[in-house]
Structure 1
Amino acid sequence: MAEALDRAVVHVVDDDLDLGQSVARLLGRHGHATRAFSTPQAMLEAQAQEAAHCLVTDVMMGDTDGFSLAEQIRQRDPGVAIIFMTAWPTTANAVDAIRRYGGLDYLEKPLDEDRLIDAVAEAVAWSRRRRAALLCIAALTPRERDVLERLAQGMSNKMVAAELGLSPKTIEDHRAAIVAKTGASGSAGLIALMRDISD
C-alpha cells in the first residue's frame, strides 16, 4: 500500500505517562498509529524498530529533556518531524525549539486539541515530503549533488560549469541524470527538492 494511504506513525513522549497516553489516544482517533512513552530512551528504541513520521515530546523530562531527545533523533533520522510541548513556555525556548532543534511547533500545556491535531497533520505531511526527497537525493552521486545544489540556487548551467571547473555539456549531462533519478524537472522542481531536504 502506498505510504499516503498508510496511517502515519506518531510517537508521544512525556514523563507523565497518563498525559502521554491521553495525547496518543486523541491522535489515534484522528487516524494516526500512536504510541506513548514515558522516557526518551524507550522512544528511541521503538524508533529504531518502526520509524515515526512525527514525534510529540515534552520539553522538561527528568534526566533527558525534549531538546536533547530532538538532537539524538535528528542524528538517527532526519525525516521525523518534531513537535514540542511544555507546561513552562518561554520565548527563548520557543525560539530554540524551532531554530536550533528543528521543531515544527511549540505547544503550551494544557494542549489546545485542535491546534495539536493540525500541527501533527502538518508534521506528517512534512515528514513524508522530506523522506521522499532524502530518498531521491540518496540516488545521486556526490558530483550530481554538487550540481543540484547550485542549480537550486538559481545558477545557470554555464555558471555551475564555471564554478565547478567543468564544461557546460558535462553540467547538462549531470542535470539530465538528476532529473531522471529524482523526477524533479525545471528550476522550480529542483528548488522544491532541495527545500524539502533542508527545511
Structure 2
Amino acid sequence: MDENLPSRGEIFVVDDDPAVRETLSMVLSAGGYKVICFADGAALLAVARSRTPSCILLDVHIPGKSGLDILKELHGEDYPAPIFMISGQGDIAMAVEAIKSGALDFIEKPFRGSEIVARLDEAIGAFVRRQAEDTASNIATLHFPGKEPLTRREREVLEQFTAGASNKEAGRHLGISPRTIEDHRANIMKKLGARNAADLIRIVMTAQRHS
C-alpha cells in the first residue's frame, strides 16, 4: 500500500447522488479513510475486481444494474471485504434480499455521519479478526445431508448461536446489527428444517457426531 495513504485503508462508495457521495466522502475522510466514489456499478466492478478496499458502500438504487445485481456479480458472500448496502426506509425487503446475497448489513438513509464511521470501524475490525481466526471451528466444515447448503456467513452466525451468544453478542462479534443476525437465524432454521432453537442445536450436534 502507498505509504502516503491513511493506514485505515480505502472505502469504495457507489451512489448516483452527488450529494450523498460528497457527504460520505467528507465523513469517512474525517474518520481516517481514503474514499473513492463511483456513480454507477459498472465503474465499481472495473476497479473492485482488481483491487480490494477495506469496505464497500453500495446504494440499492443506481442507474443501469441495481445495487443487488452488482452485489451478485461481486459474489458478495465471498468478496474479501465487507459490503454494506445503502437503502431508503422503504427498501427493507430489498435489504433482506441483499443480506441473503452476501451484503454484510445495510445502512438506512437518512444516516448520521458519526454513526456510519463507528459501524464501519466495527465491521472492518470484526471482518479482519474473522479472517485471522480463519474460523477454526468445525461448524465451517459440518455437512447437513439433504439440506440446502449454508453460506459462509450463515455458518458464522450458527457458530455464534451454538456457542450461546445472544443476537446482540453475535452481532457485536460479527460486526452486524442484531436484526440482521435474526434474519440469518431465520434463514438457517428454514434451511436446516429446525422448528425452534433447541431443535437447531440437536441438528448441529447430530451433524457433529457424524462428521
**TM-score, normalised by the number of residues in structure 2:** 0.56
Equivalent pair of 2:87/2:95 in contact (CA under 8 Å): no
Residue 40 of structure 1 corresponds to which residue in structure 2?
41
Counterpart Cα distance in 1 of 2:103 and 2:113: 18
1:81-160 pair list within 5 angstroms: 81-98=82-99, 100-132=100-132, 149=138
Equivalent pair of 1:105/1:119 in contact (CA under 8 Å): no
Identity %: 25
Cα offset, 1:18, TM superposition: 3.4
Counterpart Cα distance in 1 of 2:44 and 2:21: 12
Equivalent pair of 1:17/1:37 in contact (CA under 8 Å): no
Stretch moving more, 49-58 or 75-84: 75-84
Equivalent pair of 1:83/1:107 in contact (CA under 8 Å): yes
Q: How many residues align?
A: 142
1:26 equivalenced with 2:27 (yes/no): yes
| 1:150–1:110 CA distance, 2 compared to 1 (3 A) | closer
**Residue 95 of structure 1: SS of its match in structure 2?**
helix
Structure with bigger helix share is 1
Query: What are the superposed Cα offsets for residues 11-51 of structure 1, whole Å, 9 maximum, x if unpaired?
Result: 00001133213212210110111111101111122223431
Stretch moving more, 123-132 or 18-27: 123-132
CA RMSD of aligned residues (A): 3.2
Cα offset, 1:103, TM superposition: 2.1
Counterpart Cα distance in 2 of 1:31 and 1:80: 18
Which 5+ residue runs of structure 2 have no aligned equivalent?
143-162, 164-172, 175-183, 185-211
Query: What are the superposed Cα offsets for residues 158-181 of structure 1, whole Å, 9 maximum, x if unpaired?
Result: xxxxxxxxxxxxxxxxxxxxxxxx
In structure 1, what residue type is equivalent to 2:23? S
Query: What are the superposed Cα offsets for residues 81-133 of structure 1, whole Å, 9 maximum, x if unpaired?
Result: 011112353331232222x1222222221212232112211221133234445
